[in-house]
Amino acid sequence: MSEKKPSLWLRAYSISVYGLIYAPILILIVFSFNTQKLNIRWEGFTLDWYKVLFNDSRILLATRNTLIIAFISTLVATIIGTMAALAMHRYRFPLYNLSETVMYIPIVIPEVVMGISLLVFFVMINFTLGLTTITLSHIAFNIPFVALVVRARLHGYDKAIDEAAMDLGANELTTFWRVTLPTIMPGVLSGAMLALTLSLDDYVITYFTAGPGSTTLPLRVFSMVKTAVTPEINALSTIWVLIIFILLVIGQISQKKKA
């Protein structure tokens, strides 16, 4: 039935759904250029809100924090997660099932629960809340996702190439560095991308583990939404959407090139 064209109703329906999905974002973007402050009616075109955005030091600080946290947590989680994926794919070690279950916990528990448990933990060990606690928490939920993605990509890995490398004179470390890692690199990068996204976007867990003065972009946006609603948020949103869009398009193009 793939040859039959979907009925007209179905097409119309789907297009409307697509429209409804995009409408809020488009409205957001359009109103970022609105002179009126309240996001209700269109009054005039202006770039003022963007100027306000770029001069907003709190936003800039939040952006800087978000990027640092995302970068560090992605790096650490990718390394640890890849090691875990390799372990689970290749070996039978003691506590295998337990390790697997523990690894999946951050993925299945509600974010609120993970957030408060981390809060309780840090308070109990008297660790001051701040950028460090946020980063540590991000690493915690990133590791399982990286491991999951890399493990999925390890399916069908031909271990004969590792044996071939050893046969040709490479010891275990050299084999990993010159053969295994390059071969699994697409999967590792995939996992890293996912971790990066999760970290950049995270609100709930960051909310509970952030201290006063350590704010990230999602936290800042949330408080702006709840308190001072100006089209500055629209401007921020527009830029954010634009950046994501460009990155995704680049990602798609480079994937098509490789194929």
Partner 1 sequence: MKSEHAVEFKDIIKIFPTPEGGQVNAVDHVSITIEHGEFFSLLGPSGCGKTTSLRLMAGFEWPTSGTVYINGQKMGRMPPYLRPVNTVFQNYALFQHMNVYQNVAFGLEMEKVPKGEISRRVGEALEMVKLPGMVKRKPKQLSGGQQQRIALARALVKRPEVLLLDEPLGALDLKLRKEMQLELKALQEQVGITFIYVTHDQEEALTMSNRIAVMSKGRALQIGSSVEIYERPNCKFVADFIGETNFLTGIVKAVDKDRVVVELAKPKQEIIGLAVGELFVGQSVAISIRPEKVYLVDDDGKQEIKVKPNENQLKGRVAATAYIGSDTRVVLELADGVQMKVWEQNAISTLDPEAYYSTGDSVFIVVPHENTLILPEESQ
Partner 2 sequence: MISGQVGETPKSKFSLTKILRENSRAQGFFLISPTNIYLFLLVVLPLILVTGLSFLSRGTYGQVEFTLNFSNYTRLFDPLYGKVMLFSLGVGVGTTVICILIGYPLAYFLAHAPIKQRSLLLFLILLPFWTNFIIRIFAWMIILRSGGILDSILQWLHITQGPLNLLYTPTAVMIGMVYEFLPFMVLPLYTSLEKIENSLLEAAADLGAPPYKAFLRVTLPLSVPGMIAGTILTFIPAMGMFVVPDILGGAKTILIGNVIRNQFLTARDWPFGAAASMVLMLMTMILTLYYTRKAGFGEELLV
Site for partner 1 in 176-195 (CB under 8 A): 178-179, 182-183, 185
Measured between alpha carbons, how far is 85 from 177 in angstroms, rounded to an integer?
A: 16
CB of 121 to partner 2, least distance (A): 4
Q: Is residue 53 within 8 Å of 59, Cβ to Cβ? A: yes
Among 170, 193, 204, 241, binds partner 1 (CB under 8 A): 170
Among 168, 226, 227, 256, binds partner 1 (CB under 8 A): 168
Interface with partner 1 includes 164 (CB under 8 A)?
yes
Interface with partner 1 includes 161 (CB under 8 A)?
yes
Cβ-Cβ contacts under 8 Å for 141 (sequence gap 6 or more): 106, 107, 114, 198, 202, 205
Among 165, 188, 233, 235, binds partner 1 (CB under 8 A): 165
Q: In the numeric block, which tokens belong to residue 52?
A: 């306000």
Among 163, 223, 249, 253, binds partner 1 (CB under 8 A): 163
Choose among partner 1, partner 2, none what residue 14 binds, the Cβ cut-off being 5 to 8 Å by kind: partner 2
Burial of 52 (0-12, 13-18, 19+ CB in 10 A): middle
CB of 173 to partner 1, least distance (A): 11
Tokens 């583990």 appear where?
A: 209
Tokens 């527009």 appear where?
A: 238
Measured between alpha carbons, how far is 206 from 202 in angstroms, rounded to an integer?
A: 6
Choose among partner 1, partner 2, none what residue 177 binds, the Cβ cut-off being 5 to 8 Å by kind: none
Among 158, 212, 227, 254, binds partner 1 (CB under 8 A): 158
| Cβ distance to partner 1 smaller for residue 103 or 179 | 179
With CB under 8 A, what is the number of residues at the site for partner 1? 19
CB of 255 to partner 1, least distance (A): 17
Tokens 């950028």 appear where?
A: 131
Q: Is residue 138 within 8 Å of 207, Cβ to Cβ? A: no
> What length does the chain have?
259
List residues binding partner 1 (CB under 8 A): 158, 160-161, 163-172, 174, 178-179, 182-183, 185
